[in-house]
Amino acid sequence: MTDSRRAETLLLVVTLIWGSTFVVTKYSLANASPLLFLGTRFGIAAVVFGLVFHTRIFKNPFRLTRASAWVYLTLALGFAFQTAGLKFTSASHSGFITGLLVIFTPVFQVIIEKKWPHRGVWVGVILVTAGLYLLVNPGGDLTPEVLFGDFLTLLCALVYAIYIVYLDIASRETDPWQLTFYQFVTVVLFSFAAAPFFEDPYLSLRADLWVALIYLAIFATIITTYVQTRYQKYTTPAKAAVIFTMEPVFSAVLAFFVLNEALNLAGIIGGTLIVVGLLTSELSKS
């Protein structure tokens, strides 16, 4: 298996884990404020990752480059916007709007790296965007609260597209262990510092909330962030973005088996379009 195929397979596994987080986070926010929840999640991740891999993280002095600074900032902002948005909007809306990063990533790749993705990637972008819309089928009467949550999630998609492009740069010039660890630390510091200004911080002691936090910290934070940081450099940002659009597909499948939620015809067509778009992007030759 080539480095690019191995990286793309691992990123697909990462996306599967991410697909489980929308429901978990939405459920958990009934018992926690968004920023305090986010800071606690990444705090657990930073402590565990730091204790297990401290010899790798601290063997060299901390080095901050322009690209890594953007990685730290955009990851913190992206997660903050997404988590806060989930407080106000539905998990399906959040999944669709976050998926719009597949549109924004090639744009920022052109602006930042002056790289034009192959035409097959653009075809994939069009297909997965249409598929995402059909899959979640957003619609109905939107309240001001839901619209506010959608707006925050749109900001998340914009910021996270920038993150993907700068991660492509930073992962080539920064130690992946340090880059992963300091991403966690930045989210913790940002979340705890911002919480008193943007919310009434609270965090329940319910056991199910802490089980969710541990799951999100270990699997959806440590493992996924390290794998993305370590392996994304072996593929292109635009292809990575298309792979990440499988997230709502996995969410729908998990919801079917765990919550007995069945997809309607539009959802089935949407999921099919996403898979076709993914394959179109993956098989296109640069």
Query: What is the DSSP secondary structure assignment for residue 100, as one 8-state letter?
Result: T
- Banded model confidence at residue 81, pLDDT cuts 50, 70, 90: very high
Question: Does 258 reside within a domain?
Answer: no
Are the CB atoms for 91 and 251 separated by under 8 Å? Answer: yes
Residues 6+ positions from 143 with CB-CB distance below 8 Å: none
Instruction: Let me know if residue 145 belongs to a domain.
Output: yes
- Average pLDDT over the chain reads 84
What is the SS3 assignment for 203?
strand
Q: What is the structure's pLDDT at 285?
A: 47
Rounded CA separation 52/208 (Å):
25
86 falls within a domain: yes
Question: Which of 92-106, 110-124, 151-165 has the highest average model confidence (pLDDT)?
Answer: 151-165
Asked, for residue 24, whether it belongs to a domain, the answer is yes
What is the longest distance spanned by two Cα atoms in the chain? 55
pTM: 0.80
pLDDT band (50, 70, 90) for residue 74: very high
Q: Is residue 250 part of a domain?
A: no
In a domain, residue 257? The reply is no
Most confident among 62-66, 200-204, 255-259 (mean pLDDT): 200-204
229, 179 Cβ separation under 8 angstroms: yes
SS3 32: strand
Query: For residue range 115-153, what is the model confidence (pLDDT) as tens digits?
Result: 776 777 778 778 878 877 776 665 555 678 878 888 899
Residue 157 lies in domain: 3-116+141-232
d(CA 59, CA 178): 9
Residue 273, in any domain of the structure? no
For 114, the 3-state DSSP assignment is coil
pLDDT of 179-212, one tens digit each? 989 999 999 999 999 999 999 999 998 999 999 9
Which residue blocks in the chain are alpha helix, DSSP H? 3-19, 21-28, 34-52, 54-57, 66-88, 91-99, 101-113, 119-136, 144-173, 176-198, 207-217, 224-231, 237-244, 247-259, 265-283
| Domain total in the chain | 1
Q: What is the pLDDT of residues 25-40, one digit of tens each?
A: 888 988 999 999 999 9
Asked if the structure places residue 124 within a domain, the reply is no
